Amino acid sequence: MDLLSNLAMGFGVASTPANLAFCLIGVLLGTLIGVLPGIGATATIAMLLPITFQLEPVSSLIMLAGIYYGAQYGGSTTAILINMPGESSSAVTAIDGYQMARKGRAGIALATAAIGSFFAGTVATLLVAIFAPPLTTIALKFGAAEYFSLMVLGLIMAVALAHGSVLKALAMMVLGLLLGMVGTDIYTGTPRFTLGITAYADGLNFVALAVGLFGIAEILRNLETEHTREVMVKSIQRLMPNRQEFREMAAPIMRGTVVGSVLGILPGGGAILASFASYTMEKKLSRTPEEFGHGAIAGVAGPESANNAGAQTSFIPLLTLGIPANPVMALMIGAMIIQGIVPGPNVVVDQPMLFWGIIASMWIGNLMLIVLNLPLVGLWVKLLSVPYYVLFPIIMAMCAIGVYSVDNNTFDLYAVAFFGLLGYVLSKLRCEPAPLLLGFVLGPLLEENLRRAMILSRGDATTFLTRPISAGLLLAALAVLVLVFLPQIRSRRDEVFTESDG
């Protein structure tokens, strides 16, 4: 009954008029920046951090959290309507969501995303409340060896999941790994591939790379073929899914919620990995895998639930251990420290109002999002039906401001331009940027953890196999690899992709 009284206290804190207002501001702002490609939650929270200094700690964290999960909702809207993921975690949603939109089922796709997100958000919020303290012990069992094996699994899944040829996907992933090498080697302090530019000593900026590859490249592509924009939805005919559609989305939403909740807890994993993992899983489990890439409802329901669940459960390590699972959580820690709260196990004990208030606000925020978003879809669509010559310069400017605001580094803007061009060239060559992005994110972690595991085991490579969790993850990776190259599946996979390429 402790849980109930705690939750009651949390709702009491979160439903004061002021906190409701901050929650609303947060989710609205989050949806807005989620809808606008290029400018992400990280940049927005970083920009708002100074303002939170003036607010009550609970209010500021409620608002910042609202921005974060609001962005997950908004990001999927653009992914579905214009094939331009507003947030990197909704990149997967774009694959099938956009196809649904092209077939006139945009409303259904949006509703699926919203329902999936809401369900996942509700479940994940409950999970945070119930399991926050015990669940962190899972995360703590992960040492360098386990992380390494997890990355291996992640990268192999990225290749298995990629559209089109395995070779191209592999090449993109390796390119991503190489780009991830740029910067100072953390073990020896030697700069690598920095071309003598000190601004690159800490590596290429992730936001710059993502904005360039996905945002700018997409704009260039769209400018080339302006007519394809007519495909984009002008009006949403039907929002409410019918019984059949509900049945189709139910299981993927459940599975996506589970996958997302688990991956969200793991530091470094989070929403992006969760949506990728869920998509692969749905495709593998589907009785009609050939529909994927052509507007499969499961391809929207699964990943959308997964990324929202992941976004929510990534608060678990933050609230209980004071450890950030991703850059946004790192900023949340900053927001807590500014308020004089030391993030860590003590938050639950010393600041129960804050802890349970945030948890309750997550559910309220999710409710606000579903209530606001479905009726407001029209408004967001209008935002997107602004003519290109108005929209593109605004997006470009937003991208530039967003990227610059992360580190105040001009080189990041050159990087945006460069990766924008690269992304355009890659799309011409039919190379998908998604594995590149994953390689870029996971590569440095892969290397760091490989070397750390080796240092800790004093050069004994069997450490990866003698630790049970690590061995299990490597086995799973092997299984995925075998599945991909199994002649039977391989031919079917090729078939699927030839179709979708046509």
Partner 1 sequence: MTPFLNRLLLGTAMVAGLAGAAAAQFPERAVTLVIPFAAGGSTDVVGRIVADKMSTHLGEQVIVQNVGGAGGSLGATQVAQAEADGYTILMGTVATHALNPLILTQKPYDPVADFAPVSLLVLVPNVLAVNPELGVDTVQELIDLAGTEPLAYASSGNGTPLHLSGELFKSMAGIDLTHIPYQGSGPALTDVLGNQVPIIFDNLPSASGHITSGSLKALGVTTAERAPSFPDVPTIAETLPGYETYSWNALFAPAGTPPEVIAALNEAALAAMADPEVIARMEEFSATIVASSAEELGTHVTAEMAKWEPVVTDAQVRMD
Binding residues vs partner 1 (CB under 8 A): 46, 49-50, 53, 139-144, 184, 186-191, 198-199, 201-202, 267, 317, 321-324, 330-331, 333-335, 337-338, 340, 342-347, 349, 407-409, 448, 452, 455-456, 458
Shortest Å distance, C-beta 137 to partner 1: 9
Q: Which is nearer to partner 1, 12 or 344 (CB)?
A: 344
Distance of closest approach, residue 136 Cβ to partner 1, in angstroms: 9
Q: How far apart are CA 187 and CA 74, in angstroms?
A: 39
Q: For the purposes of burial, counting CB atoms within 10 Å of the CB of 387, is it exposed (0-12), middle (13-18) or buried (19 or more)?
A: exposed
- Say if residues 152 and 473 touch (Cβ distance below 8 Å): yes
Which residues, including other chains, have CB under 8 Å from residue 277's CB and lie 6 or more apart? Answer: 154, 157, 259, 263, 306
Residue among 339, 417, 343 nearest 50 (CA)? 339
Of the pair 67, 372, the CB lying nearest partner 1 is at 67
CB 71 within 8 A of CB 30: yes
Element (H, E) at 340: none
Q: Considering the complex, state which of residue 456 and residue 482 has its C-beta at the smaller distance from partner 1.
A: 456
Half-sphere exposure of 131 (CA within 13 A, CB side): 18
Pick between residue 199 and residue 232 the one whose CB is nearest to partner 1: 199
CB of 303 or CB of 402, closer to partner 1: 402
Reference 385, options 26, 78, 93; nearest CA is 78
By beta-carbon proximity to partner 1, the closer residue of 456 and 479 is 456
CB–CB of 317/136 below 8 Å? yes
* Shortest CB 382 distance to partner 1, Å: 34
Helix 2-14, helix 106-141: angle, nearest 10: 130
Report the 10 Å Cβ neighbour count for 99: 22
Q: Residue 133 or 472: which CB sits closer to partner 1?
A: 133
Q: How far is the CB of 301 from partner 1 (least distance, A)?
A: 33
Cα(480)–Cα(258) distance, integer angstroms:
19
- Shortest Cβ 41–partner 1 spacing (Å): 14
- Compute the chain's Rg from CA coordinates: 22
Per DSSP bridges, beta strands 191-192 and 183-184 are: antiparallel
For partner 1, which is the closer residue by CB, 188 or 225? Answer: 188
Least Cβ distance, residue 320 to partner 1 (angstroms): 10
Residue 184 pairs in a beta bridge with 191
Question: Which of 477, 451, 443 is closest to 175 using CA atoms?
Answer: 443
Q: With respect to partner 1, which residue has the nearer C-beta, 56 or 202?
A: 202
What's the min distance (Å) between Cβ of 340 and partner 1?
5
Q: Work out how close the CB of 67 gets to partner 1 at its nearest, in angstroms, rounded to a whole number.
A: 15
* CB 324, min distance to partner 1, A: 6
Residues 6 or more apart whose Cβ sits within 8 Å of residue 478: none
